[in-house]
Amino acid sequence: MHELSIVMGIIDVVTEYANGAPVKEVTLDLGCLTTIEMFAFDMAWKQAVKGTLLEKATLDINRIEGRAVCLECGEEFTIAEVYDACTRCGSHLLHITKGKELKVRSLIIF
């Protein structure tokens, strides 16, 4: 379950920027093409924040849709999975431009 290590990394980043202040809200950008399983992520979050500056924080997740450019024909389109084919020519030679993000967008401290 790599979700726990991802959550622990997020907690480390937020704790560093909070500079000892309790955190009220954390906003994440999370791409739909990441391999993060959301149920496991939510469970890991609930357990990992206990006893930290984030214990009372709300978590807001902005899901970023997948986008790709076909390397064969240049078409830019939305994808749901990394192995989707080009909507114009059917090629699987794609450059993913959005949807693999995982970053802390913002945090609000008390």
Residue ranges for the known binding site for Ni(2+) are 2
Annotated binding site: 2, 70, 73, 86, 89
Residues 6+ apart with CB under 8 A from 62: 27, 28, 29, 30, 105
Annotated binding site for Zn(2+): 70, 73, 86, 89
Among candidate residues 104, 106, 80, 97, the one with its CA nearest the CA of residue 30: 104
Q: Please state, in angstroms and rounded to a whole number, the distance separating the CA atoms of residues 11 and 95.
A: 31
